């Protein structure tokens, strides 16, 4: 691979971050399934331990398979470096802990993945870190919410589960005036459709379990930044010491998944647009939330900052929660599950599943209704997906 050439996305997902030929001229990189690495002598120990050498000590600190995955993710997100974690939540919580200290405040968007919500509203306050949940779609509200203790702004875009799209550049412009760090969860979009670091964000995080993997067989996370010193700090003071290390085998599976990321995302989106239009036209659907629809409230922001609209859709079924329950139980092809980004089409009830940690009275306030169904549109033929949704709605 020519290091001086700017390759396109699909090429970088296959070759990005590689440092040369694989051992024994293998086409695919090996899995370095080892906990420990040996030294030649004490001089070698000194060089490695003092970071004069890129050699390895212990897989919790680094491993060739993990390093390749980190390098590839850094390249795809236009960062200087990346840190692989055992899960998306390990990445998110470690990043937040690394940027906040007692008496600091974090501002978050009002809709977050349920476990992220719990970290912000329950765990961080135990360490005297304050938080404020606002509608980051309203930049004036952000300006009025910032005080001298505000150190981090954290949000997902598109958000889980109502797909609201936050203006990353707009948030960054406000944050930089006050030296506030901006952390963006890019899981729903993937690096194919959105690159927050190019829009000024300080850190981007992913649940690699989702689109990065794409096949439902890995749990993992990753954080990427342009600040090399911060990446070193995050890796050795947080990932290593909290022990949230990704296994070499999972890193290898994620490298395999990345090879088809562009191909998968294009088909995911093509299917999702057809499904969204079908749902929008159905008499039993009250509301469809999908950034690709012109009627969606943040469609114009999505057009401006994304290269596409992804494959996550939420919708509200006429008749409330009972009708929504009947709908998911009548599905034959789509499956009821909490995850997303897999080849299979998955549906879930946010209020009862991924977001059940939200207080009941906050659901409506934060734009989450009990009749909301979230669908991760898979790679099956779109005609079969729509036919399955239609028969479940009619029954």
Residues with catalytic function: 60, 113, 185, 210
Give the 3-state secondary structure of residue 97.
Answer: helix
Distance CA 186, CA 157 (A): 6
Which 3 state secondary structure label does DSSP give 51?
coil
- Residue showing tokens 């469609």: 299
Q: What share of the chain is helix, strand, coil (3-state, %, to 5)?
A: 40, 15, 45
Q: State the CB neighbour count (10 A cutoff) for residue 113.
A: 23
As given in the structure block, the two tokens for residue 38 are 């040996």
Give CA–CA dist 242/365, Å, rounded: 35
Q: Rounded distance, CA 358 to CA 115, Å?
A: 10
Distance CA 52, CA 393 (A): 63
Q: Would the CA dihedral through 172, 107, 359, 185 be positive or negative?
A: positive
Between helix 382-394 and helix 320-330 the angle, nearest 10°, is 130
User: What is the bridge-based pairing of β-strands 105-109 and 130-134?
Assistant: parallel
389's CB contacts (< 8 A; 6+ apart) are: 275, 278, 279, 331, 334
Q: How far apart are CA 18 and CA 328, in angstroms?
A: 44
CA distances from residue 56 to 62, 242, 300 in whole angstroms, order as listed? 6, 19, 47
> Six-digit token pair at 356?
């059940």
């Amino acid at each position: 691979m020519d290091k001086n050439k700017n390759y396109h996305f699909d090429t970088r997902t296959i070759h990005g971050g590689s440092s040369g030929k694989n051992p024994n001229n293998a086409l695919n990189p090996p899995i370095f399934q080892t906990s420990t690495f040996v030294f030649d002598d004490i001089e070698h120990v000194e060089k490695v331990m003092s970071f004069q050498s890129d050699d390895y000590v212990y897989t919790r600190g680094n491993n060739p398979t993990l390093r390749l995955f980190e390098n590839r993710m850094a390249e795809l997100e236009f960062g200087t470096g990346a840190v692989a974690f055992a899960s998306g939540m390990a990445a998110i919580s470690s990043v937040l802990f690394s940027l906040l200290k007692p008496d600091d405040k974090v501002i978050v968007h009002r809709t977050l993945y349920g476990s992220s919500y719990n970290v912000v509203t329950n765990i961080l306050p135990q360490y005297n870190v304050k938080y404020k949940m606002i509608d980051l779609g309203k930049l004036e509200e952000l300006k009025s919410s910032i005080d001298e203790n505000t150190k981090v702004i954290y949000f997902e875009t598109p958000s889980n589960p109502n797909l609201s799209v936050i203006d990353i550049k707009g948030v960054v412009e406000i944050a930089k005036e006050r030296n506030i760090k901006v952390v963006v969860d890019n899981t729903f979009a993937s690096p194919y459709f959105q690159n927050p670091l190019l829009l000024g964000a300080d850190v981007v995080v992913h649940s690699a379990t989702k689109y990065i993997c794409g096949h439902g067989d890995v749990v993992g996370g990753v954080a990427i930044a342009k600040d090399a010193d911060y990446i070193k700090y995050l890796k050795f003071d947080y990932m290593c010491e909290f022990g949230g290390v990704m296994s070499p085998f999972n890193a290898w599976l994620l490298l395999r998944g990345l090879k088809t990321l562009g191909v998968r995302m294009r088909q995911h989106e093509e299917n999702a647009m057809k499904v969204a239009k079908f749902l929008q036209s159905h008499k039993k659907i009250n509301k469809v939330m999908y950034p690709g629809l012109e009627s969606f409230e943040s469609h114009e922001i999505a057009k401006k900052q994304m290269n596409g609209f992804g494959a996550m859709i939420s919708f509200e079924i006429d008749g409330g929660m009972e009708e929504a329950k009947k709908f998911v139980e009548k599905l034959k092809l789509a499956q009821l599950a909490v995850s997303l980004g897999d080849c299979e089409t998955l549906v879930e009830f946010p209020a009862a599943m991924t977001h059940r940690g939200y207080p009941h009275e906050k659901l409506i306030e934060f734009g989450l209704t009990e009749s909301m169904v979230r669908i991760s549109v898979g790679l099956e033929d779109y005609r079969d997906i729509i036919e399955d949704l239609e028969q479940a709605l009619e029954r």
